[in-house]
């Protein structure tokens, strides 16, 4: 009989085949007890037993009358329990044996070790992840610190650049940032304005400093906004004096007009400020136009300034002016007389300069002001100003065309653009367009072939884009730019104009069809197309020209009047050639 633990009992009979039995018990059962007995009727009660547990004992035990054997806490493995008996005569029986195995506790099973490996791997993974998370957190903290420092430096840099931009023109600020210094520049046409508060010293003695500074700051801040609207550059303030200049750093030829507009607005602004305060300040303004040299001076405390006789004369205009008046020189008067009501003051003796002619500017010309208010420039004023800007723009674009058009453009060259400019003006005058429409037509004529600088094909689209970019720089309105782009696109072949302006520019572009010089111009166009593989022979070209002119009609009455007869002569010449 085998007892496992305290309640598991296995009975094995004498005739059982023990070789086929194998008992297993769990390690947690702790003990296993074997009870045995042998049958010997002649010697009952006097038998001795000897046992051995293979896997645990090295040899048989001593003979004993005990009929049981108990084992405790056997380690997990296979065992064979053997027992034999000896009677009083010394006869030893055959040994009886039974195999059994002790199952390991769960924590020492293969499944447990798999779990251990999994848990250990999970712990390693978790440790690595925690370590990675810690490093990521440290890296994030470091990156955040670097980002904060970078943002702080960027903010400081931006603040510094903004401060520099307030002190210097954009071009000079950019040059200093890139090279560490700014070269001096000479400007041939600049209009300098000086504004000075009359009797400031006496006013300062009678007014609280805080109130005086507050009032002065309000005035100069208002002046800053005014000149910014007119694209005028502030140069500096010296005590109660305010100095600015138009036509720099962006060169233009309308700066005398814009500076005088700003001067008149300054006078109105200071009157408005005075009406809202108990303190009354009155200013004199002097303006002169001419060449200056501009540059940055100083190293620790940089300052942008301008020099030249123009600056000195502008200062004299201010000192020889009257309060609440805008006093201008003769040079400035030449540029603004068609826009403003001016009063001739005569020749006034100026220290170190001799006698100089001066003028007071009172107001905007009545016909050029909105509702004849003599204050607000109207549409006619703007168009008149844009015509002056057009002259400068025309020089710029003509220069680009001369430099950048391909040399093998024998027809679509600078000469053709100049011809179209003249033609469009002649036709437009006869068709009775207004001044703004004339301006838009001339702008479109100037840019209509500018796209050839980039590509022979689709040049109209390219020219329209170039026109939009340039016209924005010259402060043309969005509606004007849209119209000019539409006029440029109208010159695309074959022409299909939809309104009078499109008809005018189409007729101007093809004006040569009815001119005596058609044949040489046509041959230039053939040569241009032939070199680009768009036409094969002169015979083919003449036939195409004849067919095109035969079906072509000028769109405007003035073009038909001036060119239809010439077209008939051209057709006659072409017919002889084909």
**439 touches 390 (CB < 8 A):** yes
DSSP secondary structure of 146-200: HHHHHHHHHHHHHHHHHHHHHHS-HHHHHHHHHHSS---EEEEEEEEEEEEETTH
Q: Identify the three-state secondary structure at position 287.
A: strand
Q: How far apart are CA 285 and CA 362, in angstroms?
A: 12
DSSP secondary structure of 239-275: TTEEEEEES-SS--S-HHHHHHHHHHHHHHHHHHHHH
371 contact partners, CB below 8 Å, separation of at least 6: 378
pLDDT of residue 76: 83
pLDDT of residue 13: 60
**421 touches 384 (CB < 8 A):** no
Name the region of 496 (left: φ>0; alpha: ψ -120 to 50; beta: rest). beta
Q: How far apart are CA 247 and CA 303, in angstroms?
A: 19
Q: How far is CA 7 from the centre of its chain?
A: 88
Tokens for 433? 């367009």
**563 touches 514 (CB < 8 A):** yes
pLDDT of residue 275: 86
Q: How far apart are CA 286 and CA 255, in angstroms?
A: 15
Q: How far is CA 512 from the centre of its chain?
A: 46
pLDDT of residue 340: 97
Residue found under tokens 């307030």: 166
91 contact partners, CB below 8 Å, separation of at least 6: none
Q: Which of 426, 442, 357 is nearest to 394 (CA)?
A: 442
CB neighbours of residue 530 within 10 Å: 16
Domains defined along the chain, listed by start: 2-108 (2.60.40.10), 186-377 (3.30.70.1230), 386-577 (1.10.3210.10)
**541 touches 509 (CB < 8 A):** no
- Respond yes or no on whether the N-terminal peptide bond of residue 534 is cis (omega within 30° of 0): no
Q: How far apart are CA 256 and CA 290, in angstroms?
A: 10
- Respond yes or no on whether the N-terminal peptide bond of residue 249 is cis (omega within 30° of 0): yes
pLDDT of residue 530: 94
pLDDT of residue 15: 58
Beta pairing, strands 22-26 & 96-103:
parallel
471 contact partners, CB below 8 Å, separation of at least 6: 393, 443, 480, 481, 484
Radius of gyration of the chain (CA): 54
Length of the chain: 578
Half-sphere exposure of 79 (CA within 13 A, CB side): 22
CA distances from 48 to 80, 200, 206 (A): 20, 140, 140
Give, in degrees to the nearest 5, the angle at Cα 232 between 228 and 233.
100
Q: How far apart are CA 96 and CA 37, in angstroms?
A: 11
- Respond yes or no on whether the N-terminal peptide bond of residue 59 is cis (omega within 30° of 0): no
Q: What is the pLDDT along the chain (578 residues), one digit of tens a residue?
A: 778 766 666 766 655 555 556 777 776 777 888 888 887 655 555 789 999 999 889 899 999 989 889 988 888 888 899 999 998 888 888 888 888 888 888 888 888 889 999 999 999 999 999 999 998 888 888 988 888 888 888 888 777 666 666 666 666 666 666 666 667 889 999 999 999 988 877 787 787 888 888 888 889 999 999 999 999 999 998 888 999 999 988 889 999 999 999 999 999 999 998 888 878 888 999 999 999 998 887 666 677 889 999 999 999 999 999 999 999 999 999 999 999 999 999 999 988 889 999 999 999 999 999 998 899 999 999 999 999 999 999 999 999 999 999 999 999 999 999 999 999 999 999 999 999 999 999 999 999 999 999 999 999 999 999 999 999 999 999 999 999 999 999 999 999 999 999 999 999 999 999 999 999 999 999 999 999 999 999 999 999 999 999 999 999 999 999 999 999 999 999 888 87
Q: How far is CA 288 from the centre of its chain?
A: 40
- List the strands of the sheet with 2-4, edge to edge: 8-10, 2-4, 31-35, 68-72
Q: DSSP character for 377? A: B
Q: Which element (helix H / strand E) includes 424?
A: helix 414-431
Q: How far apart are CA 109 and CA 115, in angstroms?
A: 10
pLDDT of residue 5: 67
Q: How far apart are CA 353 and CA 316, in angstroms?
A: 9
Half-sphere exposure of 495 (CA within 13 A, CB side): 26
pLDDT of residue 178: 67
Q: Which of 320, 325, 324 is nearest to 355 (CA)?
A: 320
């Amino acid at each position: 009989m085998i007892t496992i633990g305290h309640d598991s009992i296995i009975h094995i009979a004498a005739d059982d085949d023990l070789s086929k039995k194998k008992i297993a018990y769990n390690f947690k059962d702790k003990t296993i007890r074997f009870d045995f007995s042998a049958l010997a009727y002649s010697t009952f009660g006097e038998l001795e037993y000897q046992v051995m547990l293979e896997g645990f004992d090295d040899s048989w035990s001593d003979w004993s009358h005990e009929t049981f054997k108990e084992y405790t806490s056997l380690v997990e493995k296979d065992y064979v329990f053997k027992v034999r008996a000896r009677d009083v005569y010394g006869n030893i029986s055959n040994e009886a044996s039974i195999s059994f195995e002790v199952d390991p506790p769960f924590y020492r099973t293969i499944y447990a070790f798999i779990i251990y490996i999994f848990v250990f791997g999970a712990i390693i993974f978790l440790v690595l992840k925690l370590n990675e998370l810690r490093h990521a957190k440290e890296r994030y903290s470091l990156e955040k610190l670097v980002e904060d420092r970078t943002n702080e430096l960027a903010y400081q840099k931006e603040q510094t650049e903004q401060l520099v931009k307030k002190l210097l023109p954009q071009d000079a600020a950019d040059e200093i940032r890139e090279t560490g210094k700014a070269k001096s520049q000479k400007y041939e046409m600049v209009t300098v304005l000086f504004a000075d508060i009359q009797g400031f010293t006496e006013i300062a003695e009678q007014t609280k400093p805080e109130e005086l500074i507050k009032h002065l700051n309000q005035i100069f801040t208002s002046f800053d906004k005014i000149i910014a609207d007119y694209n005028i550059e502030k140069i500096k303030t010296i005590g109660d004096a305010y100095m600015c200049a138009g036509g720099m750093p962006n060169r233009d030829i309308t700066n005398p007009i814009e500076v005088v507009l700003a001067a008149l607005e300054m006078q109105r602004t200071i009157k408005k400020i005075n009406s809202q305060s108990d303190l009354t300040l009155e200013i004199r303004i002097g303006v002169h136009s001419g060449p200056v040299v501009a540059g940055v001076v100083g190293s620790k405390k940089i300052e942008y300034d301008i020099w030249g006789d123009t600056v000195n004369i502008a200062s004299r205009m201010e000192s020889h002016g009257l309060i609440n008046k805008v006093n201008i020189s003769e040079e400035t008067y030449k540029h603004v007389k068609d826009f403003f009501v001016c009063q001739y003051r005569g020749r006034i003796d100026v220290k170190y300069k001799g006698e100089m002619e001066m003028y007071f500017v009172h107001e905007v010309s009545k016909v050029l002001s909105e509702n004849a208010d003599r204050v607000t420039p109207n549409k006619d004023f703007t168009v008149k100003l844009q015509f002056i800007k057009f002259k400068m723009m025309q020089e710029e674009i003509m220069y680009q065309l001369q430099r950048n058009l391909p040399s093998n453009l024998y027809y679509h060259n600078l000469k053709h653009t100049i011809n179209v400019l003249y033609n469009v003006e002649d036709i437009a005058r006869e068709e009775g367009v207004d001044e703004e429409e004339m301006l838009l037509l001339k702008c479109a004529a100037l840019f209509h072939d500018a796209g050839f600088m980039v590509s022979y094909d689709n040049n109209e689209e390219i020219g329209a884009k170039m026109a939009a970019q340039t016209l924005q720089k010259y402060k043309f309105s969005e509606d004007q730019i849209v119209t000019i782009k539409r006029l440029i696109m109208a010159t695309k072949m074959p022409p299909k104009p939809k309104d009078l302006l499109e008809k005018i520019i189409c007729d101007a572009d093809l004006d040569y069809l009815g001119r005596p010089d058609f044949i040489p111009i046509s041959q230039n166009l053939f040569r241009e197309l032939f070199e680009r593989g768009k036409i094969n022979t002169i015979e083919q070209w003449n036939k195409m020209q004849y067919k095109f002119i035969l079906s072509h009609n000028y769109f405007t009455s003035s073009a038909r009047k001036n060119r239809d007869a010439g077209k008939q002569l051209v057709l006659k010449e072409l017919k002889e050639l084909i």
